[in-house]
Structure 1
């Protein structure tokens, strides 16, 4: 899911779109497998009203702790354009935060041991506003995203430098 073309301003192009690493869904997948297994076993060994209750409880658990987290993960994106960093999230109500690249002061990242093993990390973006910095957790290939975003921020702050080198 990328940014809608109607949200892009004139001469703006999308550079990259990321969502958090799939590791964020590990708990949801575990709940899905356990609830489906327990619900299937419970439905097989019971009958009548008890079977119906077991199936309904299993479905509610699956929807609440597996399907909804997946949909939240799927609809929460971070997009970098040549002018802005855009965060969009929400199932029914879409919300977002837009940070112009010219207002970004610092871009850094951190990787814990599990992040290094899984190839992800946290990207931290500080901008010239009163809001707290934007922490994007579990970014796949965080070093590449950091490098690309830092290059774009530098070009936004020093547009003549890019033209002089050409």
Structure 2
């Protein structure tokens, strides 16, 4: 799963490229099962009535809209969210139609820490907190294997000191 090389500098390499943890898709999958199950149950209830065709059509339209809004949209958001650590910077890109992102040069990162609750520990993910020269720390939720990512990012921050711009 490589990151597009066109977005990297000449001597820049990808160290880590991750999507958010799959646990964020549990809710949308549950919605999918509830919508399909509920629509199937309602369709079976009206199967013997004279007005079953209009009801089935309405159930199909409403079910499709619910599935698109509550299942496919979160799946697309998950798939188009990238957490990338390179040898020079930390990049986060997200969005389907409107893309947004943030780049933090390694030399601007002051500290890196992670936070993992009970559910996060069960799933093997957590929140990565990056403090940089900006006012507020940045929190990145649902990072898979967050402790390994923290260690790799900390190592790159130490190595990134050599890429610090020279004042002068």
Using structure 2 for the length normalisation, give the TM-score: 0.89
Matched, 1:141 2:145: yes
Matched, 1:112 2:117: yes
1:126: Cα distance to partner?
Answer: 0.9
Runs of 5+ unmatched residues, structure 2: 47-51, 164-168
1:2-151 matched pairs, under 5 angstroms: 2-46=2-46, 47-130=52-135, 132-151=136-155
- 1:68–1:79: structure 2 CA closer, same or farther, 3 Å change rule? same
Q: Distance in 1 between matches of 2:3 and 2:88?
A: 13
Partner-residue secondary structure (3-state), 2:139: strand
Pairing 1:156–2:157 present: no
Does the 8 Å contact 1:43/1:55 carry over to 2?
no
Give the whole-Å Cα distance in 1 for the aligned partners of 2:83 and 2:92.
5
Shift of 1:5: 1.2
Q: Secondary structure at the match of 1:11?
A: coil
State the Cα distance separating 1:124 from its structure 2 match.
0.4
Per-residue deviation, residues 108-137 of structure 1 (Å, max 9, x unmatched): 01111111111111100011124x322111
CA–CA separation in structure 2 for the residues paired with 1:44 and 1:100 = 58
**How far did residue 139 of structure 1 move?**
1.1
Q: Taking structure 1 as the reference length, what is the TM-score of the superposition? A: 0.90
Count of equivalent residues: 158
Runs of 4+ in 1 over 3 A off after TM superposition: none
Match of 2:128, SS state, is strand
CA contact (8 A) 1:106 1:127 kept: yes
- Conserved in 2, the CA contact under 8 Å of 1:84 and 1:100? yes
| 1:61 Cα deviation from its structure 2 partner | 0.7
